[in-house]
């Protein structure tokens, strides 16, 4: 029988039940996705009709102005204050509906070479999936990371580094990365053991990951960065700011874990299972396929590391400005927990995006990016 450090047989059983429930829900949403794909041609190319006499034709611009979200841009509020993320939308921006699932385009050339892709303003429901990224392999010691980059505008700007959660990869950051690339260079890192990277031969601690991230950024010559971490990635981001403060200008924690009031594997597994019922079909498909790529063995190896990390204690040591952001329907990172984290940080802010689940950067990329860029400009 395979044993995992810090995981009991009962806990492993809870995880297996949660995974089974998630797979069942994903199978249902994948059926919905196939229906979307089958209907895609009619949505992309609807039959044209002549405008009715006496009525104007509504353009895309008209539809944007009819959007329910306000278009004024403001800064996130300080810790303990809740702000509607819709206020962060700039004029003419909105969170676009999610398109059907499509295969990720392959980048030309080997991972370690090639021209840097630049964020574009291409339109259409599949634009974010068609956007090519520039991948590269970075090895530090015996550990290998894959970095997927998008170049920012020619005039420069902040450098954004995106760190995924347990079992995940750069793929669920893609929509956010494209929006952030309009403001600066972006680098989404697949950390050792996750995505398509080689599996390490030992369990890695949060400090190990922070050191790997720092060494990777140094090899890339990134300088000071705005570090954005989602879920377990919030732990990586916080530890990076503590251990390598000269490399980090701002810290963004999206749906951070682990809630101090729910520190058991069973509670976390049930919360993730509930979240799978709230995510979109494409979001669930990304999560499931990334879990398969990472593998249950590595997931269970790193799970005790995530569960035991003292995020509150580490966050109290962070001197940089911190933004804690969650979706209002996130069952994993509760409102009270995120409020505590924002109040713990020396310079903390809290923001909640209405109606969004745990993978808020995927389901609400525009609002999330607006909050991040507002923090970077502060």
Find out whether 299 and 5 touch, Cβ atoms under 8 Å. Answer: no
Q: Whole-angstrom Cα distance, residue 310 to residue 184?
A: 31
Q: Which two tokens stand for residue 102?
A: 């499509």
Task: Name the domain count of the chain.
Answer: 1
- CATH number for the domain spanning 165: value is 3.40.50.1820
Kindly state the average pLDDT of the residues 107-126: 44
User: Percentages helix, strand, coil for the chain, rounded to the nearest 5?
Assistant: 45, 15, 45
- Phi, psi (degrees; rounded to nearest 5) at 90: -85, 170
* pLDDT single digits (tens) 66-99: 333 333 333 445 544 445 444 444 333 445 444 4
- The predicted structure's pLDDT at residue 131: 74
1 pLDDT tier (thresholds 50, 70, 90): very low
- The predicted structure's pLDDT at residue 123: 59
Mean pLDDT computed over every residue of the chain: 78
The runs of H, that is alpha helices, within 56-131 are 60-65, 127-130
Find out whether 254 and 326 touch, Cβ atoms under 8 Å. Answer: yes
- Whether 288 is covered by a domain: the verdict is no
By the 10 Å C-beta count (0-12 exposed, 13-18 middle, 19+ buried), 181 is classed as buried
At 360, is the secondary structure helix, strand, or coil?
Answer: helix
- Whether 255 is covered by a domain: the verdict is yes
Find out whether 212 and 145 touch, Cβ atoms under 8 Å. Answer: yes
Which range among 1-10, 209-218, 318-327, 329-338 shows the weakest confidence by mean pLDDT? 1-10
- Whether 342 is covered by a domain: the verdict is yes
* pLDDT single digits (tens) 181-235: 999 999 999 999 999 999 999 999 999 999 999 999 999 998 999 999 999 999 9
- Phi, psi (degrees; rounded to nearest 5) at 67: -60, 145
Looking at the DSSP bridge assignments, the partners of residue 87 are none
Strands, E assignment, 151-296:
160-163, 186-190, 225-230, 248-254
Q: Whole-angstrom Cα distance, residue 32 to residue 214?
A: 41
H-run or E-run covering 11: helix 9-38
- Dihedral (C-alpha) 359, 360, 366, 370: value to the nearest 10 degrees? -130
Q: Whole-angstrom Cα distance, residue 153 to residue 293?
A: 33
- The predicted structure's pLDDT at residue 129: 64
- Whether 11 is covered by a domain: the verdict is no
Token look-up 């940089």 returns 320
Find out whether 227 and 251 touch, Cβ atoms under 8 Å. Answer: yes
* pLDDT single digits (tens) 359-374: 999 999 999 999 999 9
- Whether 103 is covered by a domain: the verdict is no
- Dihedral (C-alpha) 270, 21, 17, 197: value to the nearest 10 degrees? -90
- Whether 194 is covered by a domain: the verdict is yes
Cα distances from 344 to residues 40, 196, 236, in angstroms, run 47, 35, 17
Sign (positive/negative) of CA torsion 365, 114, 158, 167? positive
Sign (positive/negative) of CA torsion 265, 267, 273, 275? negative
Kindly state the average pLDDT of the residues 289-296: 94
The answer to whether residue 112 scores a pLDDT higher than 70 is no
Residue numbers of the domain that contains 76: 70-95+111-263+309-377
Which range among 2-11, 238-247, 267-276, 327-336 shows the weakest confidence by mean pLDDT? 2-11
- The predicted structure's pLDDT at residue 217: 97
- Phi, psi (degrees; rounded to nearest 5) at 249: -100, -40
User: What is the strand order of the sheet 248-254 is part of?
Assistant: 134-140, 143-150, 186-190, 160-163, 225-230, 248-254, 322-327, 348-353
Cα distances from 127 to residues 132, 279, 301, 344, in angstroms, run 10, 20, 36, 39
* pLDDT single digits (tens) 13-55: 544 444 444 444 444 444 444 344 334 333 433 443 333 333 3
Q: Whole-angstrom Cα distance, residue 369 to residue 371?
A: 5
- Whether 278 is covered by a domain: the verdict is no
132 pLDDT tier (thresholds 50, 70, 90): confident
Token look-up 């450098």 returns 159
- Whether 51 is covered by a domain: the verdict is no
């Amino acid at each position: 029988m395979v044993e995992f450090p810090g995981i009991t047989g009962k806990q492993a059983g809870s995880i297996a039940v949660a995974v089974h429930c998630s797979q069942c829900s994903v199978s249902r949403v994948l059926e919905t996705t196939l229906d979307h794909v089958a209907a895609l041609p009619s949505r992309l190319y609807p039959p044209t009709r002549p405008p009715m006499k006496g009525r104007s034709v509504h353009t895309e611009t008209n539809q944007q102005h009819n959007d329910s979200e306000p278009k004024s841009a403001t800064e996130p509020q300080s810790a303990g204050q809740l702000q509607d993320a819709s206020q962060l939308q700039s004029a003419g921006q909105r969170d676009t509906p999610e398109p059907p699932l499509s295969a990720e385009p392959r980048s030309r050339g080997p991972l370690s070479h090639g021209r840097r892709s630049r964020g574009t303003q291409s339109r259409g429901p599949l634009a974010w999936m068609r956007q090519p990224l520039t991948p590269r392999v970075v090895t530090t010691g015996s550990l290998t990371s894959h970095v997927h980059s998008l170049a920012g505008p020619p005039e420069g700007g902040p450098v954004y580094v995106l760190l995924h959660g347990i079992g995940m990869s750069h793929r669920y950051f893609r929509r956010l990365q494209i929006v952030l690339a309009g403001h600066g260079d972006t680098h989404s890192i697949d950390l050792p053991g996750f995505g398509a990277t080689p599996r390490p031969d030992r369990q890695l601690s949060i400090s190990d990951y922070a050191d790997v991230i720092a060494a990777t950024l140094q090899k890339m010559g990134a300088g000071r960065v705005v570090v954005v971490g989602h879920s377990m990635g919030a732990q990586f981001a916080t530890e990076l700011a503590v251990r390598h403060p000269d490399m980090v200008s701002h810290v963004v924690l999206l749906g951070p874990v682990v809630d101090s009031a729910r520190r058991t594997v069973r509670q976390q597994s049930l919360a993730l299972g509930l979240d799978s019922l709230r995510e979109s079909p494409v979001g669930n498909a990304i999560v499931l396929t990334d879990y398969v790529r990472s593998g249950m063995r590595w997931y269970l190896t790193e799970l005790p590391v995530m569960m035991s990390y003292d995020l509150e204690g580490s966050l109290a040591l962070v001197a940089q400005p911190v933004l804690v952001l969650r979706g209002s329907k996130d069952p994993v990172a509760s409102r009270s927990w995120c409020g505590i984290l924002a109040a713990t940080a020396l310079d903390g802010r809290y923001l909640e995006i209405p109606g969004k689940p745990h993978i808020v950067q995927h389901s609400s990329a525009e609002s999330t990016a607006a909050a991040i860029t507002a923090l970077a400009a502060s």
